């Protein structure tokens, strides 16, 4: 029994976000786990490879090409801002969805670009040319800057629409040049209604079972020579070197799968001190502060339909990290990451005696001990004082008095989504928390004076909201350049400034100095870890550069007696459907289609063990043959500690089954013509 089981076990845990250019180092492991293609199929500079079908979408998501006509899939939450910009009361594409019925109906998106990776190259020695170990950090930085500029300029001069940057990997032990082709004419082709694309809303965010149809469709346009070009009516659909074929065969538990995309940021190699700070100090404090804010927002949102709409997006963004941090805190505790890192550090210190890494951990410990109180004060400030909307308005408007139109556009959109009772209550809660929890030595004199003057936070709040001109939209709109003095003596502006000044003078210089020392020490510690564990294959922390993560389709057990199957279906959407609950109110059309029968088993989402993070949203999820089986969009909250430590038992990425995308295009969008340009495999 055990033996038979062992045969199906992967060789190693499915951890890692690997550089495509170095994927040959992983290919044996990938093949052992079921991968059917070669390293060259994933990444090649001599022939078209899968990398040519993957893009960085905007500046924080991933997308993939699915036709030879530049058709692109990404997430609904990645296209959200663009869909919203095209929406009005008459055409509410967020609410109703949007479907271009032909090319001429596709909508251009100012500011949106997609970047294809042309190639990546190890340029460590070129970047460090001229550097000697006797030099100071500042000299090192400036040498790196100058060399990098030369490299990127040379790379960019080689063609139209090229962009290049040099990125440090492993804390600056290695440098890679990344050269991209950037397309700026990207048009919206289709999006489901939010009741499908955001189904489950924040209730289901970071959760399994999940039923969100989180996709949107765009098309990349190029000039007649197939080169990047600014938007023009003359442009034609881009003909990519490669696009993904779509698998209709479905997936089953245990199947090999990989994700090709742009993960944003991880910190897998930090010390136990950093992990403890994150999981035991920072996360819990920030969660508690956000719980207060969310409760206040929700109280007013549940009483008033207009307020619910005003605060739904704000509430969602506050809740997103709030939920993620809870998973991270819990996961780190459960994995005992602090303890295991401590044990590792003990062994490392033993080993380092007598080599050049001797003392590096002790140095990091001292730096953290000094930095953390300051950093916590800073985080506390950003999660309290900086969340008071009125103060932010006062500051933004005052610093933009000269650009009258920009100021007034901002003011209009601010008041469209502003509900003062929420802000007043948040003011009291956040200032009270700040006063109760900030270390005495850090408290700004301004705070102490104000509390003495007004007697209580409540009275202070009353004074500010009664006397600030910024609570009055008409008055804010009327402000001109000439009113600078008036704006600057406003109590809301004064309060913002006083705290900002405190942060800039009391916290920021120390934090910056210590952070750069920590960064330098990590360069040593990272190299030390690689020398200490000669046989381990390391992957660099995520930094929004293209990576491959591979694993397999798999359910998990989040708690005793619970097992989560890795697949969800349309039947589950109907079970959740509830016209009275905003997050679960599906379109009538979907109810009608379901009622026709035959769609119960329609696949919707699936779980896998791919190691992903923020930025991987929209990434293609591929099968062993490199065919598209899904679109990545989330992780389970119980596994969000994967940014720090990956647990193969719990960490799961959540993908939308591509067959649900096709279902929506056909049945909800009535845009079956789009399927004609895709290529399907069984």
Which residues are known catalytic residues? 77, 214, 617
The answer to whether the beta carbons of residues 100 and 190 sit under 8 Å apart is: yes
The strand pair at 61-65 and 71-74 is best described as antiparallel
| Residue from the set 236, 281, 316, 511 that interacts with ligand ARG by CB under 6 A | 316
Q: Which residues pair with 564 in a beta bridge?
A: 556
- Shortest distance (Å) from residue 613 CB to ligand ASP: 5
Tokens of residue 254, six digits: 């245990």
Closest CB to ligand ARG among residues 62, 235: 62
Q: Is 44 exposed, middle or buried (0-12, 13-18, 19+ CB in 10 A)?
A: middle
Residue 616 touches which of ligand ARG, ligand ASP, none (Cβ within 5-8 Å per kind):
ligand ASP
CA 405 to chain centre: 31
Q: Which does 180 bind (CB under 5 to 8 A by kind): ligand ASP, ligand ARG, none?
A: none
Q: How many residues bind ligand ARG (CB under 6 A)?
A: 10
Give the residue among 406, 662, 329, 357 at the shortest CA–CA distance from 522. 357
Q: Which is nearer to ligand ARG, 61 or 229 (CB)?
A: 61
Contact between 617 and ligand ARG per CB under 6 A: yes
Beta bridge partners of 56: 62, 115
What's the closest the beta carbon of residue 113 comes to ligand ASP, in angstroms?
Answer: 18
**Which residues pair with residue 79 across a beta bridge?**
none
109 belongs to the binding site for ligand ASP (CB under 6 A): no
Contacts of 528 (CB under 8 A, 6+ apart): 348, 352, 357, 360
Task: Candidates 20, 213, 491, 614: give the one binding ligand ASP (CB under 6 A).
Answer: 614
43 touches 21 (CB < 8 A): yes
* Interaction mask 204-243, ligand ARG, x per CB under 6 A: -xx-------------------------------------
Q: Residue 636 or residue 674: which is nearer to ligand ARG going by CB? A: 636
User: Which one of ligand ASP, ligand ARG, none is in contact with 327 (Cβ closer than 5 to 8 A by kind)?
Assistant: none
CA atoms within 13 A on the CB side of 348: 26
205 binds, among ligand ASP, ligand ARG, none (CB under 5 to 8 A by kind): ligand ARG
SS3 618: coil
What 8-state DSSP symbol labels residue 207? -
The two beta strands, 246-247 and 680-681, are: parallel
Rule CB under 6 A: is residue 77 a binding residue for ligand ARG? yes
Residue nearest to ligand ASP (CB): 617
The entry of ligand ARG, ligand ASP, none near residue 407 (CB within 5 to 8 angstroms by kind) is none
How big is the chain by its Cα radius of gyration, in Å? 26
Residue 179 three-state SS: strand
Please give the residues from 397 up to 426 whose contact with ligand ASP meets the rule CB under 6 A.
none
Q: By CB under 6 A, is residue 613 in contact with ligand ASP?
A: yes
Q: Is 616 in the site for ligand ASP (CB under 6 A)?
A: yes
Minimum separation from the CB atom of position 616 to ligand ASP (A): 5
Q: Which span (32-40, 97-105, 198-206, 384-392) binds ligand ARG, by CB under 6 A?
A: 198-206
Q: Which residues contact 216 (CB under 8 A, 6 or more apart)?
A: 73, 74, 75, 76, 78, 79, 80, 83, 188, 190, 191, 192, 197
User: What region, left, alpha or beta, does residue 132 occupy, with left being phi > 0 and alpha being psi -120 to 50 degrees?
Assistant: beta
178 bridge partner residues? 120, 165
Q: Which does 613 bind (CB under 5 to 8 A by kind): ligand ARG, ligand ASP, none?
A: ligand ASP
As separate numbers, helices (DSSP H) first and strands (DSSP E) second, the chain gives 26, 20
Between CA 67 and CA 239 the distance in angstroms is 8
Is there a contact between 48 and 217 (Cβ–Cβ < 8 Å)?
no
Number of residues that bind ligand ASP (CB under 6 A): 9
CB of 203 to ligand ASP, least distance (A): 15
Instruction: Choose among ligand ARG, ligand ASP, none what residue 201 binds, the Cβ cut-off being 5 to 8 Å by kind.
Output: ligand ARG
Whether the Cβ atoms of residue 660 and residue 582 lie closer than 8 Å to each other:
no
CB of 198 to ligand ARG, least distance (A): 6
Angle between helices 491-502 and 389-399 (to 10 degrees): 90
Q: What angle do CA 599, 600, 605 make, to 5 degrees?
A: 95
Tell me: does residue 201 bind ligand ASP (CB under 6 A). Answer: no
Nearest approach, Cβ of 194 to ligand ARG (angstroms)? 10
Out of 331, 603, 615, 626, point to the residue binding ligand ASP (CB under 6 A): 615
What tokens appear for 216 in the block? 């949107």
Minimum CB separation of residue 428 from ligand ASP in Å reads 32
Q: Does 147 bind ligand ASP (CB under 6 A)?
A: no
Q: Which does 396 bind (CB under 5 to 8 A by kind): ligand ARG, ligand ASP, none?
A: none
The verdict on 620 binding ligand ASP (CB under 6 A) reads no
> Which span sits near ligand ARG by CB under 6 A: 23-31, 90-98, 199-207, 527-535?
199-207
Binding residues for ligand ASP restricted to 626-655, rule: CB under 6 A = 633-635
Q: Does 612 bind ligand ASP (CB under 6 A)?
A: yes
Sequence-distant (≥ 6) Cβ neighbours of residue 638 within 8 angstroms: 327, 330, 331, 556, 558, 650
Buried b (16+ CB within 10 A) or exposed e, 82-94: bbeebeeeeebbb
Among 173, 226, 285, 320, binds ligand ARG (CB under 6 A): 320
Is the CB of 156 or the CB of 316 nearer to ligand ARG? 316
Q: Choose the one of ligand ASP, ligand ARG, none that binds residue 615, judging by a C-beta under 5 to 8 angstroms depending on kind.
A: ligand ASP
Tokens 């005495």 sit on residue: 440
Cα dihedral 464, 470, 472, 475 sign:
positive
**Are the beta carbons of 164 and 152 closer than 8 angstroms?**
yes
Name the one range near ligand ASP by CB under 6 A: 7-15, 87-95, 129-137, 612-620: 612-620
Least distance between ligand ARG and beta carbon 112 (Å): 18
Contact by Cβ (8 Å): 272, 300: no
Site for ligand ARG contains 638 (CB under 6 A):
no
Cis peptide before 209 (omega within 30 of 0): yes
State which residue, 214 or 647, has the beta carbon closest to ligand ARG.
214
Closest chain position to ligand ARG (CB): 205
Please report, as ranges, the residues that interact with ligand ARG according to CB under 6 A.
77, 201-202, 205-206, 316, 320, 614, 617, 634
Residues in touch with ligand ASP (CB under 6 A): 612-617, 633-635
């Amino acid at each position: 029994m055990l033996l038979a089981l062992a045969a199906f076990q992967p060789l190693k845990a499915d951890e890692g976000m690997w550089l495509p250019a170095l994927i040959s180092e992983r290919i044996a492991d990938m093949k052992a786990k079921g991968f059917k293609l070669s390293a060259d199929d994933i990444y090649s500079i001599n022939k078209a490879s899968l990398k040519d079908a993957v893009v960085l979408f905007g500046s924080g998501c991933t997308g993939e090409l699915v036709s030879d006509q530049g058709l692109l899939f990404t997430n609904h939450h990645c296209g959200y801002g663009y869909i919203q910009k095209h929406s009005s009361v008459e055409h509410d594409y967020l609410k109703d969805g949007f479907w271009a019925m032909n090319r001429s109906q596709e909508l251009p998106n100012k500011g949106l670009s997609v970047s294809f990776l042309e190639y990546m190259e190890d340029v460590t020695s070129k970047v460090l040319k001229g550097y000697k170990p006797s030099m100071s950090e500042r000299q090192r930085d400036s040498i790196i800057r100058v060399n990098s500029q030369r490299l990127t300029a040379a790379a960019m001069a080689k063609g139209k629409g090229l962009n290049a940057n040099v990125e440090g990997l492993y804390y600056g032990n290695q440098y890679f040049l990344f050269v991209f082709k950037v397309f700026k004419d990207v048009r919206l082709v289709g999006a489901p209604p939010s009741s499908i694309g955001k189904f489950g809303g924040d209730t289901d965010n970071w959760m399994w079972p999940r039923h969100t149809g989180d996709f949107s469709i765009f098309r990349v346009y190029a000039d007649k020579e197939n080169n990047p070009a600014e938007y023009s009516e003359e442009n034609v659909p881009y003909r990519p070197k490669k696009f993904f074929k779509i698998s209709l065969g479905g997936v089953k538990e245990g199947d090999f799968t990989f994700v090709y995309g742009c993960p944003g940021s991880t910190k897998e190699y930090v010390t136990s001190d950093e992990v403890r700070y994150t999981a035991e100090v920072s996360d819990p404090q920030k969660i508690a502060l956000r719980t207060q804010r969310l409760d206040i927002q929700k109280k007013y949102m549940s009483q008033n339909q207009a307020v619910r709409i005003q605060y739904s997006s704000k509430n969602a963004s506050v809740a997103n990290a709030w939920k993620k941090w809870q998973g991270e805190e819990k996961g780190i505790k459960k994995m005992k990451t602090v303890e295991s890192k401590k044990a590792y550090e003990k062994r490392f210190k033993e080993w380092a005696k007598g080599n050049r890494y001797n003392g590096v951990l002790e140095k990091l410990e001292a730096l953290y001990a000094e930095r953390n109180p300051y950093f916590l004060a800073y985080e506390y400030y950003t999660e309290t004082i900086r969340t008071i909307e009125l103060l932010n308005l006062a500051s933004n408007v005052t610093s933009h008095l000269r650009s009258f139109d920009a100021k007034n556009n901002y003011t209009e959109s601010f008041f469209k989504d502003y509900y003062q009772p929420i802000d007043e209550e948040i003011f009291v809660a956040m200032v009270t928390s700040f006063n109760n929890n900030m270390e005495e030595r850090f408290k700004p004199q301004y705070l102490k004076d104000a509390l003495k003057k007004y007697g209580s936070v409540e009275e202070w709040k009353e004074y500010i909201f009664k006397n600030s001109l910024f609570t009055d939209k008409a008055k804010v709109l009327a402000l001109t350049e000439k009113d600078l003095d008036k704006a600057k003596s406003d109590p809301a502006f004064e309060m913002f400034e006083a705290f900002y000044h405190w942060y800039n003078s009391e916290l920021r210089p120390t934090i910056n100095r210590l952070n750069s020392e920590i960064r330098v020490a990590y360069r040593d510690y990272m190299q030390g870890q690689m020398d200490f564990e000669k046989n381990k294959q390391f992957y660099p922390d995520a930094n929004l550069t293209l990576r491959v993560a591979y694993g397999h389709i798999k359910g998990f057990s989040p708690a005793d007696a619970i097992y989560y199957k890795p697949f969800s279906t349309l039947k589950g959407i109907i079970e959740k459907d509830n016209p009275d609950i905003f997050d679960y109110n599906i379109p009538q059309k979907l109810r009608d289609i379901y009622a026709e029968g035959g769609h119960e088993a329609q696949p919707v989402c699936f779980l896998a063990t791919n190691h992903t993070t923020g930025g991987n949203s929209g990434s293609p999820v591929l099968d062993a043959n490199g065919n598209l089986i899904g679109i990545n969009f989330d992780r389970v909250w119980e596994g969000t500690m994967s940014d720090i430590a990956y647990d193969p038992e719990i960490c799961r990425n959540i993908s939308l089954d591509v067959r649900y995308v096709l279902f929506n295009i056909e049945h909800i969008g009535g845009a079956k013509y789009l399927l004609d340009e895709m290529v399907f495999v069984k």
